[in-house]
Structure 1
Amino acid sequence: MSMLWFNRNLSLFLSNRTCVAIAGLDYCVIAADTRMSVGFSILTREHSKIFQLSEKCILASSGFQADIRTLQKHLDARHKIYQHEHNKQMSCPAMAQLLSNTLYYKRFFPYYAFNVVGGLDNEGKGCVYTYDAVGSYERVGYSSQGSGMQLIMPVLDNQLKSASPLLLPAKESATSLTESEAIDLIKDTFASAAERDIYTGDSMELLVVNASGIRREYMELKKD
């Protein structure tokens, strides 16, 4: 048991880096950097932290790499079973609930993974769901996870000013930015985080989900 604990904690910082998502009225933008490292050692500069769950749903994760891969495989298997049984893909809100249930089921020995799910809901509106390690989640207009979160979230709070879910009547959680403005904002936040956070860098992978499908872009970040 002590060796299992040692091996698990030795690798806790594998892929424990930065991901960001912003939901708009008819789109969702999700991005993550591609650096994977342990402490001050960079293992690879081209590691994707984004996983496509369906045609309208994307998962971005930070945390322990082995747990993240296990979680992705589990969700992919459950989605394939759902498609065989219902002859359609799972919606983004349903996938968000499935992820919550999966994390809560493992709450006594949780996945060391901090997730953001983004995509389009049943009405074609952008949606972002943010999680803790044991499955508590919330639909928000934007979110960030990973080591760069403390640097990025204040900028997003200042620029997007998401409405409180406690306000009555309830306001739309999606931001009013256009798709191109949201992309530019995410690029700016990653460029800034890479200057201050040694675990964020190399390049940024960005996915845009809209009615036309999924588009992927890359942007170079600081290499040191």
Structure 2
Amino acid sequence: MTKQQANWSPYDNNGGSCVAIAGRDYCVVAADTRMSTGYSILTRDYSKISKLADKAVLASSGFQADIKALQKHLAARHLIYQHQHNKQMSCPAMAQLLSNTLYYKRFFPYYAFNVLGGLDNEGKGCVFTYDAVGSYERVGYSAQGSGSTLIMPFLDNQLKSPSPLLLPAQDAVTPLSELEAVDLVKTVFVSATERDIYTGDKVEIVILNAEGERREFMDLRKD
């Protein structure tokens, strides 16, 4: 048992894992469906993924009440934006809004760790990863939640580009095809479920591309 698992608190509910991978013309966002507190599983079928716009999907891990409050606030701000501009926010615009929202609450922050995925104005996949107070960056892939310390080394091994100190800097998107990215996401969740007690039951996968959105589910360990 890890130190993180042993020293749990009531604010750890809805731990789990969230992953996003950006490709040249797609983005994959995934999260498990287990919500738990300590050693008690509250539900095995809870979605950690929220669709903020047609081309922006948010996956969050942390304290359930704070996550719901954050999603409600973002939905209200997006509705105001649509009335004012007669269009939906792009994923990079939503990323900036999320950063501003988290930073505004920095002295009493949302206990929420977020990864935002979608498509930019050029149709490329984009992933933005955050800390609790709004610092963010655009990356090719990211993971958040209690299983992220297990998942990120796996993704680094499979997707990390060569050092920009040795070669010209490469694009942030990953070289995998859409199907390869989905298979990789399924693999990392199977691996994380073996070691993280807060990750399990099912993985929900959202794929965004030029054709729209589709969802897939895959069963994980339930113990």
TM range (shorter): over 0.9
Does residue 46 of the first structure (1) align with residue 45 of the second (2)? yes
Give 1:43 shift: 0.3
Alignment match, 2:181: 182
Give 1:40 shift: 0.2
Alignment match, 1:214: 213
SS of the residue corresponding to residue 82 of structure 1 reads helix
Alignment match, 1:119: 118
Deviations 1:44-91 (CA, angstroms, capped at 9, x unpaired): 000000000001100000000000000000000000000000000000
Identical columns (%): 73
SS of the residue corresponding to residue 79 of structure 2 reads helix
Give 1:171 shift: 2.0
Asked whether the equivalents of residues 119 and 126 of structure 1 are also in contact (C-alpha less than 8 Å), the reply is yes
Distance of 1:166 and 1:216 partners within structure 2: 38
Asked whether the equivalents of residues 207 and 216 of structure 1 are also in contact (C-alpha less than 8 Å), the reply is yes
For normalisation by structure 2, the TM-score amounts to 0.94
Asked whether the equivalents of residues 163 and 172 of structure 1 are also in contact (C-alpha less than 8 Å), the reply is no
Give 1:14 shift: 1.3
Letter in 1 for 2:150: L
The 5 A counterparts of 1:61-80 are 61-80=60-79
Give 1:11 shift: 3.0
The 5 A counterparts of 1:2-41 are 11-41=10-40
Structure 1 unmatched runs, 5+: 1-8
Alignment match, 1:5: none
Asked whether the equivalents of residues 141 and 162 of structure 1 are also in contact (C-alpha less than 8 Å), the reply is no
Alignment match, 1:93: 92
Structure 2 unmatched runs, 5+: 1-7
The 5 A counterparts of 1:120-199 are 120-162=119-161, 169-199=168-198
For normalisation by structure 1, the TM-score amounts to 0.93
Letter in 1 for 2:96: Q
Structure 1 residues 163, 137: CA separation in 2 closer, same or farther (over 3 Å shift)? farther
**How many pairs does the alignment contain?**
216
